[in-house]
Structure 1
Amino acid sequence: MKRWLPAPLLSVGLLALWLMLNRSLSPGNLLLGVVVAVVLPVLAAPLRPPGPVVRRPLRLLLLVLRVGGDVVLSGIEVVRGVLRARRAPPASRFVVVPLDLRNDHALAALAMITAVIPGTVWCELAPDRSRLLLHVFDLPGDEAVFIDHYKTRYERPLLEILP
């Protein structure tokens, strides 16, 4: 079964997309949609990277909850910073964070986490993946404290979850 449908969810999505784009449920469109949904994932299978190996699913759930909470709290802090910007402009900075992560999936997850947290922007990853350049909206304190906070809250759990 895996040989003919290497990515069943992708096949279902392709079929649904085909039918929506054609706006027709005619037998010809259904047949052509099924052919596209079966053939394209088979042809693209060698191009797909191997999936991640998740070691600690409970830790992953806790990380998702932590990120959700941080999104809300950071959103509030950014709103405060914008509202008081005339009186006290935010101390925006670029921060270089040394990384221990090397796993492609973990780095992608870290990039997504950084992207959804208001006030942080992933700017650049060093070619050897040893450093990350972040832009922080408001960093009035020491960079070392922020770096330790970032690594503790996001990088270390990802090191445990994705080897």
Structure 2
Amino acid sequence: MKRWLPHPLLTATLLGVWLLLNESVAPGTVILGGVLSLAAVWAFTALDLPEGRFRRPRVAVELAFIVLHDIVRSNNAVARIILRRGKGNRMSGFVRIPLDLRAPYGLAALACIITATPGTIWVEYDSAKNTILLHILDLVDEQTWVGTIKGRYERRLMEIFQ
């Protein structure tokens, strides 16, 4: 059964989304959705993704609330920067941050967190040095950003994924 249907929950979810998007449960729609779902799942298994462990769901929930709070706070800060007349003394710049996190899923989550936060962009990841390069819209102090990324996000991601 695993050979024909390696990820049944993912297949069912994809089929469900297909049916919702088409707003139909006609036999042709169900058959086409089933075939596409199976093809997508087989392609997914061919990727040979690295093993990852998700530990400490309580820390993940805590991290989600922290990220949500930071996104709201950053939205307000970016709106004030944009709506303020003139440039003022705002200075944007790049910050290179050394990481201890090496788990691929943890790095992907960190990239999503940083990019989803307004005013910050993940520019580059150097796997040899294990550093990231960020562009910050309103860069006041580089060490504050290093402390924020390492203390608020990286530490929790390491608890979750390593």
Q: Which residue of structure 2 lines up, in the alignment, with residue 143 of structure 1?
A: 142
Of the structure 1 ranges 47-56 and 108-117, higher mean CA displacement relative to structure 2 is found in 47-56
Provide structure 2 residue ranges, at least 5 long, that are not aligned to the other structure: none
**Identity of counterpart residues, as a percentage?**
43
Distance 1:63 1:7 in 2: 28
1:98: Cα distance to partner?
0.7
The TM-score with structure 1 as length reference comes to: 0.83
1:88 CA displacement: 0.9
Deviations 1:106-144 (A, max 9, x none): 00000000011111100111142511110011122x311
Match of 1:55 in 2: 55
Query: In the alignment, is the contact (CA less than 8 A) between 1:102 and 1:129 conserved in 2?
Result: no
1:161 equivalenced with 2:160 (yes/no): yes
The 8 Å contact of residues 81 and 89 in structure 1, kept in 2 or not, is answered as no
What TM-score, normalized by structure 2, do the two folds share?
0.84
Distance 1:29-1:97 versus aligned 2 partners, 3 A rule: same
Tell whether 2:11 aligns with 1:6. no
Q: Distance in 2 between matches of 1:81 and 1:22?
A: 42
Give the aligned CA root-mean-square deviation in angstroms.
2.5
Rounded Cα–Cα distance in structure 1 between residues aligned with 2:37 and 2:25: 15
Change (3 A) 1:129 1:55: farther
Gaps spanning 5+ residues in structure 1: where?
none
Distance 1:27 1:114 in 2: 43
Give the corresponding residue for 1:45. 45
Change (3 A) 1:34 1:62: same
2:68 aligns to what? 68
How many angstroms apart in 2 are the aligned matches of 1:40 and 1:143? 43
**Residue-by-residue CA offset, 1:66-109 (whole Å, 9 max, x unaligned):** 00001111111111122225151421111111111111100000
- 1:87–1:129 distance in 2 versus 1, CA, 3 Å: closer
Q: Specify the code of the residue in structure 2 equivalent to 1:10.
A: L
